[in-house]
């Protein structure tokens, strides 16, 4: 009986040992899944349409978003004023019309034209009279028949008359861009450059003020091209150091919210606006379709820097509570399943675009889930 009992106990011990060994083998084949990991078979990956991608560094542009306004490019546009005061008799150019340099724009009946001719004739007559007197006084002074005082007075009068004639002639030259008619006192204002009539601010019968009449002249025509325009942007003081000539810009306007207009910075102001604490930045923007109109407000995105940074698709980032996480491939389990680890990362999610820079939590070359992270989240 004793030997039988011992034998039975030994058998039980052997069975327990065998069960323990078998349990250990099962655990090795089916290890416990750690928290924060998701295990899938290849079939499950395909059925769930989970996509992966290798995280790499890429050229990443950083932008500064500011406001701006569309203006004329001064190199392609001229603002036409009347050099004489008078009444508009006839308007010869209309908005949208193409004109050549020298083409008539408007005819103005002006007393300034008559005064101009009169001033030139008077100055010429005075010069001839003072010149004769000067020569006569010179002869008398040489013959000792006249005083030095009279001789010097004649010299002064002659020089004054000569200067007055030059002044009148210079004023006349200022009006040579138009046609002068001394009989009708009519002045024809002509186009100073080739281009289209962008704006017209004059109608027949109105009185206009001349540039050289001492008053405030009003712009009559705007002539030029809108194939290229300027966008004047206001950059805050804290961002001025990140803006430089040659930087690329993209702009949108309310009229075409889905369209981006590309340009380039060609000037940054050397001073700040004392009240707004901003610096003016001028952006040259092609406008072949004339969609951008002067005085339009624009949203301007300025490229401040271009660098190689680790960036991943925005779809790869999953927001869980106050954390941003991604799922990273960690190889296979002993039974051949694919392992994905949930990992917190620090990302610049305020950056626009399809890719987001990663500051911490991920290394270049690691494989991440780009589509289907929400499915893996439910399995962890």
Summarised one tens digit per residue, pLDDT across range 103-121 is 999 999 888 777 777 777 8
Residue 374 pLDDT: 86
Does 193 lie in the same domain as 101? yes
pLDDT of 221 > 80? The answer is: yes
Per-residue pLDDT, 12 = 34
Global model pTM greater than 0.85: no
The answer, yes or no, to whether residue 28 has pLDDT greater than 70, is no
pLDDT, position 17: 44
3-state SS class at 40: strand
Residues 153 and 280 in one domain: no
pLDDT of residue 348: 82
pLDDT band at 164 (very low <50, low <70, confident <90, very high): confident
Asked if residue 117 belongs to a domain, the reply is yes
| CATH number of residue 144's parent domain | 1.10.287.470
Average pLDDT over residues 173-199: 75
Query: Looking at the domain assignment, is residue 11 inside a domain?
Result: no
Do 365 and 296 sit in the same domain of this protein?
no
The residue segments making up the domain with residue 339 are 37-59+308-377
Alpha-carbon distance values, 202 to 108, 272, 378 (Å): 11, 37, 72
Mean pLDDT of the chain: 83
Question: For residues 176 and 190, what is the distance between their CA atoms, to the nearest angstrom?
Answer: 10
Within a domain: 6: no
DSSP E strands, 73-153: 77-80, 86-91, 98-99, 104-109
């Amino acid at each position: 009986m004793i030997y039988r009992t011992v034998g039975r106990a030994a058998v039980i011990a052997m069975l327990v040992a065998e069960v323990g060994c078998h349990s250990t083998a099962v655990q090795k084949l089916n290890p416990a899944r750690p928290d924060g990991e998701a295990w899938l078979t290849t079939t499950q990956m395909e059925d769930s349409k989970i996509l992966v991608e290798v995280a790499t560094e890429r050229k990443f542009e950083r932008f500064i978003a500011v406001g701006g306004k569309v203006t004329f490019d001064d190199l392609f546009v001229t603002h036409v004023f009347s050099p004489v005061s008078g009444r508009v008799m006839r308007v010869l150019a209309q908005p949208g019309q193409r004109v050549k340099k020298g083409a008539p724009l408007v005819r103005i009946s002006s007393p300034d034209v008559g005064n101009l001719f009169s001033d030139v004739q008077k100055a010429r007559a005075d010069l001839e009279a003072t010149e004769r007197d000067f020569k006569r006084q010179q002869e008398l002074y040489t013959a000792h028949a006249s005083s030095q005082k009279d001789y010097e007075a004649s010299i002064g009068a002659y020089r004054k008359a000569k200067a007055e004639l030059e002044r009148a002639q210079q004023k006349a030259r200022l009006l040579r861009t138009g046609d002068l008619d001394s009989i009708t006192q009519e002045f024809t204002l002509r186009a100073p450059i080739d281009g289209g009539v962008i704006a017209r601010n004059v109608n027949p019968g109105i009185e206009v003020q001349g540039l050289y009449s001492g008053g405030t002249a009003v712009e009559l025509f705007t002539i030029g091209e809108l194939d290229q325009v300027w966008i004047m942007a206001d950059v805050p003081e804290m961002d001025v150091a990140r803006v430089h000539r040659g930087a690329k810009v993209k702009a949108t306007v309310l009229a075409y919210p889905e369209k981006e207009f590309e340009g380039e910075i060609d000037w940054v102001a050397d001073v700040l606006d004392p009240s707004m604490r901003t610096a003016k930045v001028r952006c040259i923007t092609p406008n072949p379709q004339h969609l951008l109109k002067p005085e339009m407000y624009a949203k301007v995105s300025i490229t401040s820097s271009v660098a190689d940074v680790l960036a991943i698709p925005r779809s790869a980032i999953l927001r869980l509570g106050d954390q941003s996480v991604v799922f990273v491939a960690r190889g296979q389990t002993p039974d051949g399943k694919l392992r994905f680890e949930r990992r917190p990362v620090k990302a610049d999610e305020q950056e626009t675009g399809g890719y987001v820079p990663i500051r911490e939590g991920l290394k270049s070359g690691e494989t991440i889930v780009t589509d289907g992270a929400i499915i893996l989240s439910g399995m962890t």
